[in-house]
Structure 1
Amino acid sequence: MEHNILVKWMKLGSISVPKMLMEHYTKIGLTETELVALLHVQAFIEQGDHFPTPELLSVRMTKNPDDCAKMLGSLCKRGYLSLEKDWDEQGIMYEDYSLEPLWIKLFQIIKKQEMEKEVEIEAEEEGKLYQKFEQEFSRPLSPIEAETLSMWLDQDQHKPELIIAALREAVVSGKLNFRYIDRILFEWKRNGVQTLQQAKVYGEKFRKYQQQPKAKEQERVRSDAYPSFNWLES
């Protein structure tokens, strides 16, 4: 019974601390003391006090009011905390603390890390792509070929998997050269091919179309060699 009461008491008045903030506060330039101060400001705001004084903050921290005042000023100056001005119903101006600058900084650092990770993944995929081409060509790529491959990725925005699919098409067709692969990619892009499945379907249609003239030519040769009898003309 006492345990349940203690748990309820511990949860009373608790604040939510974003996991991302706990993981990245040092990366955005905060010290442990500054982090705790900001969490206290957030707690005051959630309790309805949007402008806690340094004296109130000092009661909850191991800092005197002067140190708390300096820390709040520093956090505002460095862009972790802001003072928002507003007016009440009587037209009297008052100020509120806002932690929005802190969340913006946190978002920016997370976004930056995601972009860096994407760049690493793209570089890794590009490296694998170069290796695949060198394996199929059985030799290192020339500077011009390497530049062409980079242009397919960066300028033409072809997906790595589609470039590999075009390489396979060239191998199957017995035309292993960059000009032929570039033509395949051009045709796919012009016809809206964006997935491997779409590339497969388009390739099958293309090969079927390519085989039709040969079949007609063979039929014509057979027709000339063995004239068929037309009963309507007899």
Structure 2
Amino acid sequence: MKENLIQWFNEGNITFPSALLTFYKQMGINEEELVLLLHVFSFQEKGNEFPTPSEISSRMTISLTQCSDMLRRLVQKGLIEIQDGHSYDGIRFEKYSLQPLWEKLIEQFLMNTKNKYIEKQQQEETDLYTCFEQEFGRPLSPFECESLAMWMDDDRHDPIIIKSALREAVISGKLNFRYIDRILFEWKRNGIKTIEQAKNHGRKIRQHQPQQREKKEEVPQTKNVPFYNWLEQ
């Protein structure tokens, strides 16, 4: 029993990118091809760089002919390569290279990451239009939609920053596009790119505003929220 466990441990483990399980379908690989590729990888990990179709098919539920056809198909798909190699004594031999597989996997991973980023940006832009319409209490005009698009596309303002500028305009009681545009201009000039920076900048601006000195003792006063008039700058 102990010897069997030791033999089992000596078989070792194989480690491959989990991304391959995530993206193999998008890479045009079916389940049988995936298992075959893993067997090739396993053979190579143990020093056999060019396992024969007979060796591979003996571990799978496919015939020798099916295995040979599958290997040929994977080469045609550009997922594996057959390369020439040389041993230390100068003997030439052939070996499988999985480099094309890893390169395609990296490309798929990067493309998937890019698509997720694009989807996130599109969703943020949609939410931005909805947020503006909710604050204005009406659908935006074509001119206002164009202004929003220009802030994102031409001025490269992040939708989150534009929302912050909208919030600043609401707090200041100056809900119009000209005022919001001025806020964005000032923030860009001061290198403000995050919500936290925008909050800190607004806080500093308000701290330097003159406070009302005249107080009427007869009439109870309600505390006003100070705001910064961006249009006067």
Q: Helix, strand or coil: the match of 1:84?
A: strand
C-alpha displacement of 1:42:
0.8
Match in the other structure for 1:73: 72
Q: Which has the higher contact order (CA 8 A, sep 6+)?
A: 2
TM-score after normalising by structure 1: 0.77
Name stretches of at least 5 consecutive residues in structure 1 with no aligned partner: 216-234
Note the 1:84-233 alignment, pairs <5 A.
84-207=83-206, 211=210
Say which is worse superposed, 110-119 or 7-16, in terms of deviation: 7-16
C-alpha displacement of 1:142:
0.8
Evaluate the alpha carbon distance shift between residue 156 and residue 95 of structure 1 in structure 2; reply closer, same or farther with a 3 A threshold: farther
CA RMSD of aligned residues (A): 2.7
Deviations along 1:181-234, one digit per CA (max 9) or x if unpaired, are 11211111111112223212322343455649x99xxxxxxxxxxxxxxxxxxx
Deviations along 1:91-146, one digit per CA (max 9) or x if unpaired, are 44333212122222223333333322222222222222112211221211111211
Q: Helix, strand or coil: the match of 2:96?
A: strand
Q: Helix, strand or coil: the match of 2:132?
A: helix
Evaluate the alpha carbon distance shift between residue 163 and residue 7 of structure 1 in structure 2; reply closer, same or farther with a 3 A threshold: farther
The 2-side partners of 1:112 and 1:210 are apart by 49
The 2-side partners of 1:8 and 1:116 are apart by 47
Given residue 141 of structure 1, which amino acid in structure 2 is its aligned partner? L
The 2-side partners of 1:205 and 1:61 are apart by 69
Q: Which has the higher helix share?
A: 1
Match in the other structure for 2:38: 39
Evaluate the alpha carbon distance shift between residue 7 and residue 160 of structure 1 in structure 2; reply closer, same or farther with a 3 A threshold: farther
Q: Helix, strand or coil: the match of 2:116?
A: helix
C-alpha displacement of 1:25:
2.2
Deviations along 1:20-71, one digit per CA (max 9) or x if unpaired, are 3233322221222211211111111011011112232233234444432222
The 2-side partners of 1:61 and 1:196 are apart by 56
The 2-side partners of 1:143 and 1:210 are apart by 36
C-alpha displacement of 1:178:
1.2
The 2-side partners of 1:15 and 1:123 are apart by 40
TM-score after normalising by structure 2: 0.77
The 1-side partners of 2:171 and 2:158 are apart by 20
Larger Rg: 1
Q: Helix, strand or coil: the match of 1:16?
A: coil
Q: Helix, strand or coil: the match of 1:123?
A: helix
Q: Across the two proteins, how many residue pairs are aligned to each other?
A: 212
Q: Helix, strand or coil: the match of 2:58?
A: helix
